[in-house]
């Protein structure tokens, strides 16, 4: 258990980052923990795993992909508990970890495919805008480029950690025309370039269809609303947090003020919220592995695709 | 004339900055130019000054305070041309420069006084938000502090030149409680702190009541609109640009991309617009030396206060 | 049948009030009616009960909880009709009445639990507003108080029958800080107290996600919309009226004008509508026993939880 | 001075009510005070009157008609101070009081005339709605009735003091068809009766074009906005408060909580705000003695008609 | 195959029109094609039918009723392929064509029934508005008339092909009071007649709840939004296009410019788009054979009713 | 007088059309009438002219340019009445008619000049949209073309009289790229072509800043509002109707139903409104001979430029 607590700490401290990485690492930690266990039978094994799961989940309560992954593994073990050997729990976990990883990969591929269709083949250069860095949005844009679509991209630098530069470089490498701006120029850019489509990623989705994403996302949604530009969110359903259905509130993480101002005069309070919410009213469609639909439907589709995780 | 062109260049190249500075320097350059002139009579003197004025105005077409200042000086000279000595034009200019300077100072003092009244005396801490650095907004807040009002201020850092830090420091020095955020957190902050009032400055005002101010100002206006927070603009009427009434479009200045990203990969286009417009629909009131009113009324009040500059 | 008609009249005349009371009384009346019946077999028994059900439903067409309760009882009897004794119909009814009552109680408890999570634990006093009296909203607030949450409540008196006083007293008794206002001050209050959250109850929900609640509810929804305050409706799914899916229009009940003005001058027409509709566009979430979601999803969740009543 | 303070108290304590009454009484008190004064000359007389004026104004800072009236009287005295006798100050005051009264009466008559034109002659019954009691709105409706226009009126009772009953009775006496509702039914009524036009009065108007009127007025404005019904405010320009131009904030008066709930359980806080603001965005037109126009223009028209009071 | 291509051409060239006609004709063409085939077994038969289906679908990619019909037929054949004779494929097709036709007829009847309930029985004449010609909207209105409801209809002529005249005549024949206007008078009419309800048809529905209908439909939706008039769309679920869920974009068909201007001066470009989209935000409810609900739910209901076509 | 009545009839019957034509013809008729008069003195002459003026104005109450023209002529005669000869009234009228005509011409030229500045010089083709035919909008576009600006125009056909064709031809002749659509495609076009600017004309302007223009104008304003496209109205101030300030309602003219449908089946009611109103909320700016400003300011500018006609 001690080791598990250390492992959990690595997640809590942000040493491990990125939704997929975190999910897979947590499953690894669970698997390792299982390996160290000596259980007489599956009942006892599961009892122990429940505790481990809760410890891991609690490290990052706003990481649905990890939570859903752990729930998936455990539910699979529960299903099989009558005909499996307590000594090999960690092997089973490995097996389902692979399955879960494949689900994540499949959803990414599918989203790229479906999302790319939203960019039309046209003679005029189509203009897409994004904010921060989302591997899914990047995947959609690369897929559209592969299909020979004619478009350019506007992206924001995304202070204070400048993830927008990562997006800019990846698209540049794929030969996509890219224009880079400061965050506060987002409204100016939407109008100036007559942006046709906005796509961002999501860190989490709630039962009401609200998404949680990088600070500045709601600002961009407001701009989309004012300028009447279609606003889409690309996200695997595995980022849906089923507990929001039970009224659990998502908490917005505060990061280190030093990211914003290294040595401020003493007395100036600095706040560095990492995320903000975008309510369903501003979202035209959610692009998921199950298709494109209004974001309030996420719980239906989640229940259909992933009954083990509800 | 050669010297005047050199002087003008100093304004064009942004060596000289700040609306008041630019206005006073331009008048100085005009005065120096007049000193070097040898005119037989006022008619000839004025002919030359007209040309000099046009050269100076053209350096920064979006600096109404300079344009209005030069127009003020010239109109005064025209009024007096029958009973004044062509040899002393530059003395007259100096005299009216002082007058113009006094007008600018007076308007600033008046705006601080009027604007401070918008912040109520209350037991609960009142929350004011601003963006970028405006000496007028700072003056209003300092005046309110002097009057012992109970409030705190939220301000944005204002990428890429971080003028927000200047604001934060000035307010801190005056003992005002200040919270500093990145630009993209502005919506989050308005909601999180339940902001009561937003005040920003203006670089220019048009006949339709549109204001032009630092990039990000329109974003903040959108947030104010969504969250229904009163949104005010503090500006001397001398920033009204009468030519907009004639359909002249204001041009948004583009700054050096290096301000945003020093060494970007080759191929990434970077745009650095300095300003953006906020239409009258988002502005609850304009705080001027003539009082507080809907921004579309600016031309009426300008004509009443400054008939020489219409 | 005669007795049943008398019983039905007690419901129609508003002698019996409150959604749960009405539902349980109607089931009692059905049960008593069944007791008085002498049926050879279940077929005949059911034939008679269908008629009785229709008579009862028709007394208050806008009471879904009663309608759904009667449908639940009958559907259960239909399921069991092959292996049950026509002489004991009323015993079966009693059994299912208890089940239905338990369902109602369970949903209430669940809603209190889920709804209370919407009120955050915070240092600053959180401000909740409500209108009229809803036992569910009260249950949510009491549950939140039990959990030690730090909040206060604003409520309206709710003319002409002043149900708001009942709400105020109940909350006061639980030690919750309460501020009471006239109905027309609701906008002023939302702004003045910077209300964080609005929760009201519902008398009925339609397939389009419209709710029907006490007159004034839509006004409060308009205020929430203007001031961008989250607006929630707490209601058991059993208040969903499945017939609205078939285009049946809900009718707004008119009450006695004397409630408003006892002795008005002759000639003044007085109208006293009891309810009004709030469309899904104004509702951020429906708080039900099945979780929190966009109100347009009510028919999905209803079908999942209560397949017998669709 | 002692007597003046007593007189002032009668205004402060609401013993004297109604904008016109208050204005005329205040002028009377000023006149009586002047009568009691023994002044050597007009300078001294005016010095004393300035103090008296300030005392009177301060009793009800939100009564522009009184403030403007006192300013009118004093400005007239100032104009004449060189050729008038300090012993007869009170006679002069009486003379200008009559003038001011005539101005008020004239504006009322003019507003009735202009406002009545907004109600078209039509075959279908036109539907007008109002809130609370405004003698100007009543005057408009009576004038329209006199002209034989075909319309009916919906009005609210206006808790807690039920001024709506006064409106209902006055219109009934004039033979106008009237329907009376509770305040919270205002949205329902606008839709149910397909209201064509809403007109309310105003207690005060600010330089930004905001009006201040009976609590509930903003709610009705929200309804008008949602249902796209033209929303007009009838008010003499004499209710414009020129000091708002200088940033002076209007204060919302709190009345006795007993008006709402006579004997509430101890611990329930009750707030009884008398007025609320309606911003210019919700007002289609201001109906004044100078015509109908957007409310933000009030200071222009005021300055044109009443230069003595600016 | 040659004959099939000719048949397909008849659909592509718009020789065959109307969603139901097109669907039935396409099935006939498939059936005839099957008749001409000589297949050894069902596998080979189906292989051929797949190709034929794709050819037919491709003629009018925006005709979901045809696409869904062909998918229905083929899925039925697939289900039965093990126990049916390859020589009689066309007989099976005929059988399922009848089934599909019945489904279409049933849905039309059901929609008329459900939709008619939206028109209340009232003493005042209720005002319904529609645009273009939709056989479903007509069916709803005729059903309401049969039920003796008291209403009148406003309809637009619908340039350039004047389908509104067809609507006007059909309603006139049924004794319904009808007022006919030009398309650009639609806003004027909604206000002038105080329209109570707007219902239009749909050519296609997407997974996001967007409908596609005759050009001008979105304009009418904007008017409904401004004037707050309920806006409904009547459509069988069979017009849902499941491929939109996969990101496939619907293409707006351009018709012959000659329909607009027969002999325009050379150089004037004329565009004649036949359809436009209306997003779910403007649609209060979708009236379908499965009931009335928010249009974003169409994929749920489609999957429930027509699992073979998902 | 008889002849005058005949002349007036020519205006009433629409024989004479176009705001300028109507104004000049009415002045001619006044002049001819004056010629036929034998007046002893100017007083009597004016008495007669007042009557004639009222007769002429009454023929087309919604033609402010005529009304203002007649008022201008008469006010000039009144000014000069003391030193002019009653025998030559008609000569004076001719003189002022020329003046009025020059004023109209001047305003047109000025508007073209000012309006053309709203179209920027740019590399990308700028997209302007208009509706119906306005000689002022055409003048603006021709002026912009003359200045070598790079733009194209979208215009509507404007049923039922197809004035859009006239616009299309005039612009085509000037070498401007033009795309022509049906009226109901206006929203589609604004989005499809990413329209940058909309300009329409006006038939009349009211004191509240409402304009009255060809039916369909408000629809286009709604589209501009939804898509956030700047919406301007080009109009001489002489189309301001000062009587609207007094509450006089403008009446919307109904034209011959035959324009819409020549031989409709008996029983179909056809309404053909010629105009509709656009409220100031939808108008970004009014382009007039006095500059560009918010339309609610029209009465100020009118009073400044044309004091004789107030």
Per-residue pLDDT of chain B (310 residues; tens, 9 = 90+): 789 999 999 998 888 988 888 999 999 999 999 888 877 788 888 999 999 999 999 998 778 999 999 999 999 999 888 877 778 888 999 999 999 999 999 999 999 999 999 999 988 899 999 999 999 999 999 999 999 999 999 999 999 999 999 999 999 999 999 999 999 999 999 999 999 999 999 999 999 999 999 999 999 999 999 999 999 999 999 999 999 999 998 888 899 999 999 999 999 999 999 999 999 999 999 999 999 999 999 999 999 999 988 8
Give yes or no for A125 touching F (CB within 8 A). no
Told to judge if A203 belongs to the known catalytic residues of this protein, a careful annotator would answer yes
Please state the separation of Cα F227 from the chain's center in Å. Answer: 27
Instruction: Read off the tokens for D244.
Output: 């708002």
DSSP tag of A158: -
Q: Is the pLDDT of residue F13 over 90?
A: no
Q: How far apart are CA A22 and CA A12, in angstroms?
A: 10
Q: How far apart are CA C40 and CA C46, in angstroms?
A: 11
Note the pLDDT of residue F202: 96
Strands across the sheet with D285-288, in order? C269-270, D177-181, D151-156, D126-130, D197-200, D231-234, D285-288, D291-293
Q: What is the pLDDT of residues F230-249, one digit of tens each?
A: 999 999 999 999 999 999 98
Q: What is the pLDDT of residues E80-100, one digit of tens each?
A: 888 778 788 889 999 999 999
Give yes or no for F245 touching D (CB within 8 A). yes
E231-256 burial: b if 16+ Cβ within 10 Å, else e: bbbbbbbbbbbbbbbebbebeebebe
As a residue count, chain B comes to: 310
Nearest CA among C4, F6, C243, E246 for reference residue A117: E246
CB–CB contact E291 C245 (8 Å): yes
Q: How far apart are CA B61 and CA E222, in angstroms?
A: 40
State the pLDDT confidence band at F158, using cuts at 50, 70 and 90: very high
* D197, β-bridge pairs: D128
Instruction: Read off the tokens for D1.
Output: 């001075």
Q: What is the pLDDT of residues A237-260, one digit of tens each?
A: 999 999 999 999 888 889 999 999
Give yes or no for A156 touching B (CB within 8 A). yes
CB–CB contact F222 E218 (8 Å): no
Q: How far apart are CA B104 and CA B90, in angstroms?
A: 21
DSSP secondary structure letters along C199-229: EE--SEE-TTS-EEEETTHHHHHHHHHHHT-
A 10 A CB-CB count for E1 gives 12
Instruction: State which residue of chain F sits closest to B279, comparing Cα positions.
Output: F284
Instruction: State which residue of chain E sits closest to D229, comparing Cα positions.
Output: E227
DSSP tag of F295: G
Q: What is the pLDDT of residues A171-203, one digit of tens each?
A: 999 999 999 999 999 999 999 999 999 999 999
Catalytic residue selected from C39, C173, C183, C203: C203
State the pLDDT confidence band at E111, using cuts at 50, 70 and 90: very high
Nearest CA among A164, A229, A225 for reference residue A194: A229
* E293, β-bridge pairs: E286
**3-state secondary structure at position E245:** helix
Q: Is the pLDDT of residue C36 over 80?
A: yes
β-strands D285-288, D291-293 pairing: antiparallel
pTM of structure: 0.95
CA distances from D66 to A12, D60, D241 (A): 66, 9, 10
Residue of F209, F244, F249 lying closest to D294 (CB–CB): F209
- Contacting subunits of C (3+ beta carbon pairs below 8 A): A, B, D, E
Q: What is the pLDDT of residues C157-183, one digit of tens each?
A: 999 999 999 999 999 999 999 999 999
Q: What is the pLDDT of residues C245-300, one digit of tens each?
A: 999 988 888 999 999 999 999 999 999 999 999 999 999 999 999 999 999 999 99
Catalytic residue selected from A85, A203, A256, A284: A203
How big is the A-E interface in CB pairs under 8 Å?
Answer: 42
CB–CB contact E291 C247 (8 Å): yes
CA distances from E40 to A145, E29, E85, E89, F226 (A): 45, 21, 9, 11, 60
| All residues at 6 or more sequence positions from C297 whose CB lies less than 8 Å from its CB, including other chains | A296, A297, A300, C209, C286, E297
Q: What is the pLDDT of residues E274-306, one digit of tens each?
A: 999 999 999 999 999 999 999 999 999 999 999
Indicate which residues of B carry an active-site annotation.
132, 203
CB–CB contact C246 E114 (8 Å): yes
> Which chain D residues contact residue E191 at CB under 8 A?
228
CB–CB contact F185 E276 (8 Å): yes
β-strands F285-288, F291-293 pairing: antiparallel
CB-CB contact of C108 with C139 (8 Å): yes
| All residues at 6 or more sequence positions from D303 whose CB lies less than 8 Å from its CB, including other chains | D310
CB–CB contact D249 B294 (8 Å): no
Note the pLDDT of residue E191: 96
Q: What is the pLDDT of residues A130-155, one digit of tens each?
A: 999 999 999 999 999 999 999 999 99
Nearest CA among A279, A283, A237, A274 for reference residue A256: A274
CA distances from B24 to B96, C74, C112, D248 (A): 11, 89, 67, 33
Instruction: Read off the tokens for B28.
Output: 């100085």
**3-state secondary structure at position B104:** helix
β-strands F211-214, F177-181 pairing: unpaired
CB–CB contact B269 A177 (8 Å): yes
DSSP tag of A262: S
CB-CB contact of B159 with A186 (8 Å): no
Mean pLDDT, all residues of chain A = 94
Give yes or no for F253 touching B (CB within 8 A). no
* F153, β-bridge pairs: F128, F178
β-strands C126-130, C151-156 pairing: parallel
Instruction: Read off the tokens for C101.
Output: 């009552």
Q: What is the pLDDT of residues D106-149, one digit of tens each?
A: 999 999 999 999 999 988 899 999 999 999 999 999 999 999 99
> Which chain C residues contact residue D178 at CB under 8 A?
267-269
| Residue with the two structure tokens 């481990």 | A52
Give yes or no for C133 touching D (CB within 8 A). no
State the pLDDT confidence band at F81, using cuts at 50, 70 and 90: confident
Measured in degrees and rounded to the nearest 5, phi and psi for residue D292 equal -110, 130
Note the pLDDT of residue F243: 92
Containing C11, the helix (H) or strand (E) segment is helix C2-12
> Which chain F residues contact residue D113 at CB under 8 A?
247
State the pLDDT confidence band at A215, using cuts at 50, 70 and 90: very high
Note the pLDDT of residue D61: 79
């Amino acid at each position: 258990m001690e080791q598990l607590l250390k492992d959990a700490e690595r997640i809590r401290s942000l040493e491990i980052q990125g939704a997929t990485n975190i999910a897979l690492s947590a499953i690894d930690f669970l698997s390792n923990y299982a390996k160290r266990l000596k259980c007489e039978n599956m009942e006892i094994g599961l009892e122990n795993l429940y505790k481990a799961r809760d410890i891991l989940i609690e490290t990052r309560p706003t990481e649905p992909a990890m939570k859903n992954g752990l729930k998936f593994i455990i539910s699979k073990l529960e299903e099989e508990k009558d005909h499996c050997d307590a000594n090999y729990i960690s092997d089973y976990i490995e097996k389902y970890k692979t399955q879960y990883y494949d689900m994540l990969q499949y959803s990414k591929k599918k989203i790229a495919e479906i999302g790319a269709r939203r960019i039309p083949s046209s003679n005029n250069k189509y203009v897409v805008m994004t904010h921060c860095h989302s591997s899914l949005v990047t995947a959609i844009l690369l897929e559209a480029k592969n299909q020979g679509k004619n478009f350019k991209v506007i992206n924001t630098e995304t202070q204070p950690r400048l993830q927008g530069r990562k997006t800019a470089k990846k698209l540049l490498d794929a030969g996509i025309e890219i224009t880079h701006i400061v965050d506060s120029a987002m409204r100016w850019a939407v109008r100036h370039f007559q942006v046709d489509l906005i796509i961002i990623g999501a860190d989490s989705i709630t039962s009401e269809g609200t998404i949680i994403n990088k600070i500045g996302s709601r600002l961009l949604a407001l701009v989309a609303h004012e300028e009447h530009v279609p606003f889409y969110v690309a996200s695997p359903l595995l980022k849906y947090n089923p507990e929001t259905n039970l009224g659990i509130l998502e908490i917005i993480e505060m990061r280190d003020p030093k990211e914003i101002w290294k040595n401020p005069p003493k007395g100036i309070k600095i706040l560095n919220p990492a995320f903000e919410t975008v309510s369903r009213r501003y979202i035209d469609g959610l692009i998921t592995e199950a298709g494109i639909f209004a974001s309030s439907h996420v719980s239906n589709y989640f229940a259909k695709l992933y009954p083990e995780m509800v």
